[in-house]
């Protein structure tokens, strides 16, 4: 049975990112895949400690992270998976700290310092990012926020096999905008967009899940 691992890097378990991930998981399950969902903010772990155990010749941890904490079983599960989705909101143009720490631990051990660089991943899998953000597609580009997502996708594909990114723009950030200081956003327009556009994003996420676990 094809297995998908879906990782939520948002601190919210019921927010935009989590919702899109859930639709992607439904898409995968609709094709008979098994799914493991992980909420990073439930775990206690750190990013890469730069110990280089994953790079040490003849070492027991060559090609895999030597640190043992709550992220260890997640990394083990990914190493045996057929597909992977990493979901995160963009904070200041990049993924959350929790997601960044996770991807450091996941991807750095697979990067072999050869020329050209070689991947030590145990298998080639299909991978994707789901990224949500408060800005519009135009603002993503004009503010320079697209740089990190493009680089992250490139590295993910290089080390795991293939990668793509689903962007969900201009999301509704608060249930009640009147409870926060807000002069930048029009709550009425945000609510209207959530009713009109976000369901389309959910459908795209469902299709992504289908695509990641589908046959060649």
For 93-108, how does the pLDDT look when each residue is reduced to its tens digit (9 = 90+)?
A: 999 999 999 999 999 9
What's the pTM value of the predicted model, to 2 decimals?
A: 0.95
List the structure tokens of 184. 């930048």
Give the mean pLDDT of the chain. 95
Higher pLDDT, 214 or 87: 87
Q: Above pLDDT 70, what percent of the chain? A: 99
Query: Binning pLDDT at 50, 70 and 90, where does residue 184 land?
Result: confident
- Distance of alpha carbon 83 from the chain centroid: 12
CATH topology of domain 3-213: Rossmann fold (3.40.50)
Of the candidates 170, 216, 205, the one whose C-alpha atom is nearest the C-alpha of residue 30 is: 205
CA 208/CA 128 separation, integer angstroms: 8
Q: In this model, does residue 183 exceed pLDDT 90? A: no
In angstroms, rounded to a whole number, what is the distance separating the alpha carbons of residues 208 and 155? Answer: 19
Q: What is the residue extent of each domain of the chain?
A: 3-213
Tokens of 44: 């206690």
Mean pLDDT on 170-179: 90
CA dist., res. 26 & res. 109, Å (int): 30
216: pLDDT strictly greater than 70? no
Is residue 172 within 8 Å of 128, Cβ to Cβ? Answer: no
Instruction: Using pLDDT thresholds of 50, 70 and 90, give the confidence band for residue 209.
Output: very high
Q: pLDDT tens for residues 65-84?
A: 999 999 999 999 999 999 99
Report CA-CA distances (Å) from 110 to 76, 122, 141: 13, 9, 30
């Amino acid at each position: 049975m094809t297995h998908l691992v879906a990782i939520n890097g948002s601190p919210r378990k019921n927010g935009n990112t989590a919702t899109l991930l859930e639709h992607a998981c439904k898409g995968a399950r609709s094709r008979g895949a098994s799914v493991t969902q992980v909420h990073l903010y439930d775990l206690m772990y750190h990013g890469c400690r730069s110990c280089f155990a994953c790079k040490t010749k003849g070492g027991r941890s060559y090609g895999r992270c030597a640190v043992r904490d709550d992220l260890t079983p997640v990394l083990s599960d990914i190493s045996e998976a057929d597909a992977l989705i990493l979901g995160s909101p963009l904070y200041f143009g990049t993924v959350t700290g929790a997601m960044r720490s996770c991807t450091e631990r996941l991807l750095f051990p697979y990067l072999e310092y050869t020329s050209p660089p070689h991947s030590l991943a145990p298998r080639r899998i299909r991978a994707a990012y789901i990224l949500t953000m408060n800005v519009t597609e135009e603002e993503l580009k004009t503010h320079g926020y697209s740089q990190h997502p493009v680089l992250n996708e490139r590295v993910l594909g290089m080390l795991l096999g293939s990668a793509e990114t689903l962007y969900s723009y201009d999301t509704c950030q608060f249930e009640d905008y009147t409870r926060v200081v807000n002069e930048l956003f029009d709550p009425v327009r945000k609510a209207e967009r959530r009713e009109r556009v976000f369901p389309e994003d959910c459908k795209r996420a469902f299709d992504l899940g289908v695509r990641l676990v589908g046959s060649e």
